Structure 1
Amino acid sequence: MAKNILFVFEGEKTEASIVKNLRKFFIKENTIITCAFCSTIYQIYKEIKEDEDLDTFTLLRERKQNEESLKKYNTSNFAEIYLFFDYDGHDPIASDEKLEKLLNFFDEETEKGKLYISYPMIESLKHFPQRGCFKNLKVKCKENIQYKKIVNANCSRKIIDFNSYNKNTWKWIIREHLKKGNYIVNNSYTYPRDLYSQLDVFNNQRKNYINVNSEVSVLNSFPVFIHDYYGNEKLKKLLK
C-alpha cells in the first residue's frame, strides 16, 4: 500500500504554510503531497451530486491548478486523502444541507477522502483573544465579517505568524482546540476521552450556534485531524 498522503486545501498559501510547519513536529512518518483545490467546499457539491461514484483524485487532477503537482501520480499512489475547507457560511452558494451531505460523503480517508471543516475559517487556528475566553469564543457565520482582520487585530502577538510556531506552541494550540471541540460536542471544556467525528462537530454547531444566532463556535480542523490521526491516548502522550 502506498504511504503517500494527499492533503487537499481550499487555498494555496495559508494551509500549505501551516502544514509545512506542523510537519516539523507531527505526522513526519509519511510523505505528503499537498494539492490546492482553490475553491470553496460548496463548489464541489454539484460534481458530487451528479456523480456519486466520483474518483476524488481524478477530480482534483483535472483541475488546471493541480495539473503540474499531480501529473506524476494516480489514485493508487495515495493511501489516504484529507480535505481541509472553511465553513464559509456567508458564501452565496453555501448551505448547511449541502455540507451535511459532503461530510457524509467524504467520511473515510482511505476511500473518497475525509473532510475536515474549520469554523469559520482556517485562521481560527490562531484566534485566541488577548481578552476573553477561547471556550466561549463565537463569531457570526452567515455574513462576511472580515474574519481575517478580526483575528489579526485580536489574537496574541506570539501566535500571529504560523511559520514561527515551535513544538510547545503546537502542543498548546492542539490541546486548546481539542478541548474546544469536546466542549462543542460534549459540553465539557476538557481534553476529550475519545475521538469525535466531523459530523458530531457540525451537528452540534448547527443545533447550538448556527440555528440559534447564526454563529459558529470558533474551532480549527488541523488539531482535530491530528487527534484522529494519532488516536486519543497516543496523542495525549505526545502532548505532554
Structure 2
Amino acid sequence: MNNYAVETRRRSRSLLIVEGKHEKNELFWLIFKCFPELNIDINDVWIYGTNIYKLYEDIVREYGNDWAKDRIDVDLPFVISKKEHMETVYYRNDFTNIILVFDYERHDPAFSEEKILEMQHCFEDSTDMGKLYLNYPMIESYLHLKSMPDGEYINRKIPVSLQPGDRYKCLVKSESVLGKFIELPHRIDKLSNTPDICN
C-alpha cells in the first residue's frame, strides 16, 4: 500500500488558454458573467504569459521541428502545465474542449506566417487538440466599437503602420463607445441590467 495522493480529475471541463492577465481578469471574466451558460470555471482559464510564437517554440521543444508536417498529436495541456503548473500536470483527456486565444502579433520579431498557418491548421477543433482564435491586431479589438451596434466592426481595417501596440490601444480608447456603457473589468451589475449588451 502507498500513500500517494492523486488529484481527482473533473470531466466535462473546458480549458481556455489566453495570452495574459488582461484577457482572463477583464474580458473572459466579463463574458462568463454575461453568459453563465458557457459554464467555464474561471480557474480553467490558464494564463500562458507570452505570445503565440513562444507557444510554438514550446511545442517544437516537446515534439520536434516537424510536429505540424508530421501531424503529431499535440497535447497542449501537457505542454503548458509541464512548464507553468509543475505541481499538477494536466493532459488533453482532462478537458472536453480546449480553446486558445492569442494575438496575431505581426510586429513580433518571431512573426512567421508559416507558423501561424501551421497553428491554425493543427488547432482547428476544440474537442480534439484545441481551437485557435487569433485577435487582429490584438485583444483590444473587442473594444473597438464606434457605435452600438457597430455594423462596420467586422470590416474594420487597421494599418500595419499603427505600431507598436500601444498606439492601437490609444486609438481604441479614443474611438470606442464601450467606455460609456461599462468600465472594465468589474462593473458587471450595471452591465447585466443594460439591454442589448448581455442578452
Indicate whether the TM-score tops 0.5: yes
Deviation, 1:158, is 1.6
Q: Which residue of structure 1 lines up, in the alignment, with residue 3 of structure 2?
A: none
Distance, in Å, in 1 between the alignment partners of 2:184 and 2:157 is 21
Identity %: 28
Match of 1:161 among 183, 187, 190: 183
Query: Structure 1 residues 120, 15: CA separation in 2 closer, same or farther (over 3 Å shift)?
Result: farther
Deviation, 1:82, is 0.3
**What's the secondary structure of 1:81's corresponding residue?**
strand
Structure 2: runs of 5 or more not aligned: 1-9
TM-score (structure 2 length as normaliser)? 0.71
Match of 1:13 among 15, 22, 26: 22
Query: Structure 1 residues 122, 29: CA separation in 2 closer, same or farther (over 3 Å shift)?
Result: closer
Task: Confirm or deny that 1:26 pairs with 2:35.
Answer: yes
Distance, in Å, in 2 between the alignment partners of 1:159 and 1:126 is 11
Distance, in Å, in 1 between the alignment partners of 2:25 and 2:102 is 12
The answer to whether the 8 A contact 2:76-2:91 is kept is no
**What's the secondary structure of 2:26's corresponding residue?**
helix
Structure 1: runs of 5 or more not aligned: 174-238
Query: Structure 1 residues 149, 18: CA separation in 2 closer, same or farther (over 3 Å shift)?
Result: same
Match of 1:56 among 72, 76, 80: 76
Alignment of 1:201-240 (within 5 A): none
TM-score (structure 1 length as normaliser)? 0.60
What's the C-alpha RMSD, in Å, of the aligned pairs?
Answer: 2.9
Q: Which residue of structure 2 lines up, in the alignment, with residue 151 of structure 1?
A: 172
Distance, in Å, in 2 between the alignment partners of 1:40 and 1:74 is 21
Alignment of 1:105-124 (within 5 A): 105-124=122-141
Distance, in Å, in 1 between the alignment partners of 2:86 and 2:194 is 35
Higher-Rg structure is 2
More helix by share: 1
The answer to whether the 8 A contact 1:88-1:141 is kept is no
Return the structure number with greater relative CO, CA threshold 8 A, min gap 6: 2
Alignment of 1:121-200 (within 5 A): 121-129=138-146, 133-134=152-153, 136-141=155-160, 143-146=163-166, 147-156=168-177, 157-159=179-181, 161-163=183-185, 164=187, 166-167=191-192, 171-172=196-197
The size of the alignment, in residue pairs, is 170
Distance, in Å, in 1 between the alignment partners of 2:98 and 2:194 is 26
Q: Which residue of structure 1 lines up, in the alignment, with residue 98 of structure 2?
A: 81
Q: Which residue of structure 1 lines up, in the alignment, with residue 56 of structure 2?
A: 45
Deviation, 1:20, is 1.4
The answer to whether the 8 A contact 2:24-2:45 is kept is no
